[in-house]
Structure 1
Amino acid sequence: MSLCFITDICTYFLSKMSELLKSVEKLPLEPTLPRLSLNDFRGGNQLPTWDVPEQEFHLGKKYPLVPMVFKNWELSEPDDLVLKLGTRQIRMNRLRFMCYSKFAMDHVKGGQRELVLPEDRVPDEGLVRACHWLNQPVAKLERGSIMEVLAAALYLEVDSLIKQVWFSLNLVDEFNEDQAFAVSYESRRLRHLLPVVGLDKTMLHRIQRFFLTLVASVEFVELPFEHVHYLISSENVAVNSEMEMLYVAVRWLTHDWKARAEYAMTLIKLVSLMSLPFEYIMDLQAGRVEEPVKYITELEEFPDFIYEAFTNHLLMEFDDGSRAIEQLRELFKVELPMQRPFICDNLSGYHRATPDDLAKVFSYEDFLDYLRVIHKNGIYSWKTLDVQHTSSRFKMV
């Protein structure tokens, strides 16, 4: 190949390159773009969403931690902590106990394997039942010893158990009548362990049909004055006759007259004497009563009190709704007597079919006979009783 031919080829390519460069210079410049990172793109750090009806998108742990821990406890849970209460020893899982109990969190240190509890602060039965509650996968409470459970839970600071006890006690249908008295009785017995003021009295308000069964028991005559006062003043307790309320007071007072005489007039004033049969009011005035009731009629304040009841009874019996009677009531400050719920228990010799029937006069011994029948009939006989209410404004009950 000759030198001239090579020279011609080079010249040709150079001319073509020159033409190409001239055409490139005529192209528009590249648009200016902002300098952005992928992280700055809109939504770049967010999960996308889908608008699909009735479908949810979840990204979560395939195996939740808490169920796995509980499952591990069930399969291999060592009872590595001993609770000591006197001579009793209860084995518990230390980790589980510390999870529930703030007291354990504060007092179980390091590798500690024993925890001694004070016998004067923790009820034995309450601790056993509380530990049983802690160990159950589905925690349930029983009525029995519920106040001891509460005392133990309060000392150990097991908040979840305390809340469940209070939730249960607020169920009136579960804790009424005899169950309410059981809670009241236990609350008073454990009052040094329970910083709950008034629970023992509050529960007495739930007693209605069970009242006379309670009066027949030894627990009644051993009640403190405050509890007897609360019961006799209650508008909720159901009776066959208001005379029974007088005899209820006599029964409690004469059980230990020397120690309780100072409370006599306080309790008698809670009884609506003006509601008693007129014949019996006159007997009380004249002192024509049985020996136990004479303890009351011979009190210094009683004559004035029964005279007032006598006057008010007459005024209310002849109340025809006239303005004159109304003025007399206002003058003598006569108030309508309490109308307690009524029960008709045909086991009593003085029962009436309805609260509007005329009341019968019966003796204190008749009342005691009725209590003896309750003893024989069993502590659950009250469950067959129906509660009624009088339809009249004033009735001799």
Structure 2
Amino acid sequence: MLDIKEKREKPKGGCNLVELYSAAKFLKIDELQEFTYICFNESWNSGSLAFTLFLEAQKFKIRLIQFLMLCRIKEFFLTLVASKEFVELDFYWVRKLLSMNNVGVNSEIEIFMSAVRWLSHHWSARKILMEELMGCVRFCLLPPIFLRFLQREQKTLVLNSICQSHKIQETVSKAFV
């Protein structure tokens, strides 16, 4: 700990950075707390590692680290959406993630379909959250052809329920304007 300022290296394997941060905070060891926070901010902190640290911070209920790591998802976003962990995320964090401006997507369609994927996982329990979660989608950025697609009847229960929602229909109509 005495050499913290000189040695700013990537932590060695097996070191649980979130647990170390939690302990440093609990024990009020400012230097160690500062060092771990610096490690969270380092450039080696890629999207996949950031999500792993996010999940660890969730266990310890350290919201500051959760927010910091969520902002680092970036290019890892689509891989994350394909994972089991994404569909198991709490609504609060899914909403935060889908609302971010720095996620690595090709178009807003991917944000829309990510919301559909999360809602589909436990549709019966999550359908009441549908309109609020769809509020994260920037409908004005969706291509007109996709907006037309959303105005038609859909073949799947979840997508059809979303598209038949009065609020979503209104939002799609406004997006054309």
Which bin holds the TM-score, normalised by the shorter protein? 0.7 to 0.9
Question: How far did 1:139 drift?
Answer: 10
Which among 99, 103, 106 is matched to residue 237 of structure 1?
103
Query: CA contact under 8 A between 2:48 and 2:73: conserved in structure 1?
Result: yes
Structure with higher RCO (Cα < 8 A, 6+ apart): 2
Paired with 1:223 and 1:300, the residues of 2 have a C-alpha distance of 27
Paired with 1:219 and 1:177, the residues of 2 have a C-alpha distance of 14
Larger mean CA deviation between 286-295 and 147-156 belongs to 286-295
Which among 160, 164, 167 is matched to residue 294 of structure 1?
160
Instruction: Find the counterpart in structure 1 of residue 4 from structure 2.
Output: none
Give the letter for the 1:245 counterpart: I
Give the letter for the 2:21 counterpart: L
Which among 189, 205, 220 is matched to residue 71 of structure 2?
205
Paired with 1:189 and 1:289, the residues of 2 have a C-alpha distance of 38
TM-score when normalising by structure 2: 0.83
Instruction: Find the counterpart in structure 2 of residue 10 from structure 1.
Output: none
Secondary structure in 2 matching 1:160: helix
Alignment of 1:258-277 (within 5 A): 258-277=124-143
Secondary structure in 1 matching 2:75: coil
| 1:146 aligns to 2:17 (yes or no) | yes
Instruction: Find the counterpart in structure 2 of residue 180 from structure 1.
Output: 50
Q: 1:164 to 1:202 in 2, by over 3 A?
A: closer
Query: CA contact under 8 A between 1:283 and 1:289: conserved in structure 2?
Result: no
Q: 1:161 to 1:275 in 2, by over 3 A?
A: closer
Instruction: Find the counterpart in structure 2 of residue 161 from structure 1.
Output: 32
Structure 1 vs Structure 2 CA RMSD: 2.3
Alignment of 1:12-161 (within 5 A): 141-142=11-12, 144-161=15-32
What is the percentage of aligned positions where both structures have the same residue? 33
Flag the structure with higher helix content: 2
Which among 144, 157, 160 is matched to residue 278 of structure 1?
144
Q: 1:154 to 1:274 in 2, by over 3 A?
A: closer
Larger radius of gyration: 1
Query: CA contact under 8 A between 1:177 and 1:210: conserved in structure 2?
Result: yes
Give ranges in structure 1 of 5+ residues lacking alignment. Answer: 1-99, 101-137, 313-397
Paired with 2:146 and 2:8, the residues of 1 have a C-alpha distance of 57
Instruction: Find the counterpart in structure 1 of residue 59 from structure 2.
Output: 189
Secondary structure in 2 matching 1:184: helix
Paired with 1:225 and 1:247, the residues of 2 have a C-alpha distance of 15
Instruction: Find the counterpart in structure 2 of residue 214 from structure 1.
Output: 80
Query: CA contact under 8 A between 2:154 and 2:163: conserved in structure 1?
Result: no
Give ranges in structure 2 of 5+ residues lacking alignment. Answer: 2-6
Give the letter for the 1:228 counterpart: V
Give the letter for the 2:24 counterpart: A
Q: 1:183 to 1:159 in 2, by over 3 A?
A: same
Flag the structure with higher strand content: 1
Paired with 1:216 and 1:156, the residues of 2 have a C-alpha distance of 38
Instruction: Find the counterpart in structure 1 of residue 93 from structure 2.
Output: 227
Paired with 1:198 and 1:254, the residues of 2 have a C-alpha distance of 29
Paired with 2:69 and 2:8, the residues of 1 have a C-alpha distance of 25
TM-score when normalising by structure 1: 0.40
Paired with 1:139 and 1:304, the residues of 2 have a C-alpha distance of 52
Instruction: Find the counterpart in structure 2 of residue 389 from structure 1.
Output: none
